[in-house]
């Protein structure tokens, strides 16, 4: 299966259903009262962390996700059907961001976690709701609230306690297969691993998750190879086991290799450079390993080095013991603070007024959109209520303060009318 760890999609909650305008009709009842029902609520849009998913591949083939709209109200006070919520399944570890602002909307770091990203629009009120002592036969109903589309970015960051890092072909995948039940692809060529492999290791009745991060190369922090794609999977690991080929079998110097990878981690993010590390000096069964190991310890006297051999399965007990000890001192896996989508895109209650170059006063704001959505321009009483709300919300007085005079054009959304003081 192709591994995809980034995707961009468009999401939308369901519109609220329109309210209904009708009057009771029954034999021998000449003037039945209003009996229009309310519209149903639109469906919510929900994200679910699915433990059985491992890639964002599905989102390459489907980009638009819309929850069901609420049903319209009916006669005899019948309420419209609520729209069904739409649940979008993503792999555990997925971050959901608002594409425009970059705000994190959901951190799906726990299996089966649900997060409502968008709430469905409220259903409009039927005309029965507007009956009063002075208006006993309202002929208008309220439209349902229409919801907006949002573009969001999905980014999969592997969730693991320990990340195995190092240059290509140092034996990370083999070590993962030795320490866990994972079966990563292993071959004698570079970049055999093209996506993170996860496995669970156990030691002294303690279990922890290891991630085999694909091989990094010099320049990874600038995007060389698949640097950015690989490095972001390290960001949420609690500690690193830095694997080096201590034998130098790939005609590389393990002392230089160790420094190269640490330089790339720090360049990509200072946080990565501060993650605790242990060094697994692999391939100690090969010639020149002993000499290189002594040279490595001399070059890095403060680094904890554990000689191991994935080929002969030797040296891992001491490494695992130390991993467990270090994990006991570290905080849990990083979790991101979630932001409500409406806040992240700059929603502000109230309204804003701006006079354009054409002299038209533009009135905008979240409350204005809701007011327009709930008004029927074809009904006199509905429009009268609209005008009363403009006065009540201070919009008319604000227009006066900005110099609006009789006959000036006022624009609210797609509506435009003349100002009358």
CATH number for the domain that contains residue 253 = 3.40.50.300
User: What are the pLDDT digits (tens) for 395-408?
Assistant: 888 888 888 888 89
411 is in which domain, residue-wise? 347-418
pLDDT given for residue 183 in this prediction:
58
Whether 336 is in a domain gets the answer no
Evaluate if residue 135 carries a pLDDT over 80.
no
Q: Which helix H or strand E contains 89, and what residues bound it?
A: strand 86-91
Query: Is 338 within a domain?
Result: no
Task: Give the span between the Cα atoms of 149 and 365, in whole angstroms.
Answer: 17
Check residue 420 and give its pLDDT: 82
The DSSP symbol for 16 reads P
| Residue where a domain stops, chosen among 265, 296, 327 | 327
pLDDT for 139: 81
Tell whether 173 and 301 lie within a shared domain.
yes
pLDDT tens profile 312-329: 999 999 999 999 999 999
185, 311: one domain: yes
Distance, CA of 421 to CA of 402 (rounded, Å): 13
Same domain, 358 and 413: yes
For 204: left if phi > 0, alpha if psi spans -120 to 50, otherwise beta; the answer is left
Residue 164, Cβ neighbours under 10 Å: how many?
Answer: 27
Rounded Cα–Cα distance for residues 419 and 421 (Å):
6
What is the C-alpha separation between 185 and 177, in angstroms, rounded?
Answer: 10
pLDDT at 229: 59
- Give the pLDDT mean for 260-264: 88
Tell whether 374 and 311 lie within a shared domain. no
- Mean pLDDT across the chain, nearest whole number? 84
Residue 59 has what DSSP assignment? G
Tokens of 107: 């951190």
Let me know whether 152 and 167 are in one domain. Answer: no
**pLDDT for residue 254 is more than 80:** yes
CATH number of the domain residue 395 falls in? 3.30.300.350
- Statement to judge: residues 11 and 139 lie in one domain: yes
Q: Does 341 score more than 70 pLDDT?
A: no
pLDDT of residue 182: 58
Domain boundary among 130, 156, 182: 156
Residues 97 and 224 grouped into a single domain? no
CATH number, domain of 26, equals 2.70.210.12
Interval 121-130 mean pLDDT = 90
Q: Give the orientation angle of helix 172-179 with respect to helix 316-327, to 10 degrees.
A: 80
Question: Is it the case that residue 240 has pLDDT exceeding 80?
Answer: yes
**CA dihedral for 129, 132, 137, 141, sign (positive or negative):** negative
Considering only residues 294 and 187, tell me which one the structure prediction assigns the higher pLDDT.
Answer: 294
Q: Tell me the pLDDT band of 150, cut-offs 50, 70 and 90.
A: very high
Composition of the chain by helix, strand, coil, percent to 5: 25, 25, 50
Of 38-42, 209-213, 388-392, where does mean pLDDT reach its minimum? 388-392
Within this chain, do residues 166 and 133 fall inside the same structural domain, yes or no?
Answer: no
Residue 335 lies in a domain: no
**Residue 225 pLDDT grade (very low, low, confident, very high; cuts 50, 70, 90):** very low
**pLDDT number for residue 273:** 86
Residue 414 included in any domain: yes
Residues 179 and 118 in one domain: no
d(CA 312, CA 152): 48
Nearest to 345 by CA among 114, 151, 144, 67: 151
Lowest pLDDT segment from 157-171, 242-256, 263-277, 373-387: 373-387
**Burial (Cβ within 10 Å: 0-12, 13-18, ≥19) of residue 29:** exposed
Same domain for 180 and 322? yes
Please give the tally of structural domains in the chain: 3
As a whole number of angstroms, the distance between CA 212 and CA 242 comes to 11
Place of tokens 């079998």: 249
- Residue identified by tokens 């306690």 is 161
Q: Between the ranges 61-70, 180-189, 248-257, 350-359, where is the mean pLDDT highest?
A: 61-70
Quick check: is 333 in a domain?
Answer: no
Higher per-residue confidence, 98 vs 271? 98
In the numeric block, the tokens 């997060």 are attached to 115
Q: What is the mean pLDDT of residues 247-270?
A: 88
Mean pLDDT of 366-376: 70
- 206 plus 301 within the same structural domain: yes
| 339 falls within a domain | no
Q: What percent of the chain has pLDDT over 90?
A: 38
What residues pair up with 88 in beta bridges, in sequence order? Answer: 47
Residue-wise pLDDT tens digits, 164-208: 998 888 888 889 888 886 554 443 434 344 467 778 888 888 888
Q: What are phi and psi of 378, to 5 degrees?
A: -90, 0
pLDDT, tens only, 21-63: 899 888 777 777 899 999 999 999 999 999 888 789 889 899 9
């Amino acid at each position: 299966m192709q591994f995809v760890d980034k995707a961009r999609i468009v999401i939308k909650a369901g519109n609220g259903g329109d309210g209904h305008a009708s009057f009771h009709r029954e034999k021998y009842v000449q003037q039945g009262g209003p009996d229009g029902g309310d519209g149903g609520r639109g469906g919510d849009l929900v994200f679910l962390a699915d433990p059985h998913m491992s890639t964002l591949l599905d989102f390459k083939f489907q980009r638009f996700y819309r929850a069901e709209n609420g049903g319209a109200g009916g006669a005899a006070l019948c309420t419209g059907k609520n729209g069904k919520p739409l649940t979008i399944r993503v792999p555990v570890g997925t971050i959901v961001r608002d594409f425009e602002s970059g705000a994190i909307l959901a951190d799906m770091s726990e299996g089966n976690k649900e997060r409502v990203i968008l709430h469905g629009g409220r259903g409009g009120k039927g005309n029965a709701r507007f009956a009063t002592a002075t208006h006993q036969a309202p002929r208008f109903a309220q439209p349902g609230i229409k919801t907006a589309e949002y573009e969001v970015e999905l980014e999969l960051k592997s969730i693991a306690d320990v990340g195995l890092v190092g240059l290509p072909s140092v034996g990370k995948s083999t070590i993962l297969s030795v320490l866990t039940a994972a079966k990563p692809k292993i071959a004698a060529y570079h970049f055999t691993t093209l996506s993170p492999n996860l496995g669970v290791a156990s030691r002294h009745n303690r279990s922890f998750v290891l991630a085999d991060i694909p091989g990094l190369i010099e320049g990874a922090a600038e995007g060389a190879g698949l640097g950015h794609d690989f490095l972001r999977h390290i960001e949420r690991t609690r500690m690193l086991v830095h694997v080096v080929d201590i034998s130098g079998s790939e005609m590389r110097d393990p002392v230089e290799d160790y420094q190269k990878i640490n330089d790339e981690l720090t360049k990509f993010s200072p946080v990565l450079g501060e993650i605790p590390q242990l060094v697994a000096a692999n391939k100690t069964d090969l010639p020149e390993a002993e000499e290189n190991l002594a040279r490595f310890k001399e070059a890095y006297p403060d680094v904890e080095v554990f000689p191991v051999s994935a080929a002969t399965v030797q040296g891992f007990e001491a490494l695992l013991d130390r991993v467990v000890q270090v994990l006991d001192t570290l905080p849990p896996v990083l979790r991101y603070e979630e932001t409500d989508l409406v806040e992240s895109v700059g929603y502000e209650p109230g309204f804003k007024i701006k006079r354009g170059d054409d002299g038209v006063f533009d009135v905008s704001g979240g409350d204005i959109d809701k007011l327009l959505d709930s008004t029927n321009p074809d009904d006199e009483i509905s429009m009268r209520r609209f005008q009363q709300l403009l006065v009540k919300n201070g919009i008319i007085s604000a227009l006066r303060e900005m110099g609006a005079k009789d006959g000036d054009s006022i624009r609210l959304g797609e509506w435009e009318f003349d100002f009358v003081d």
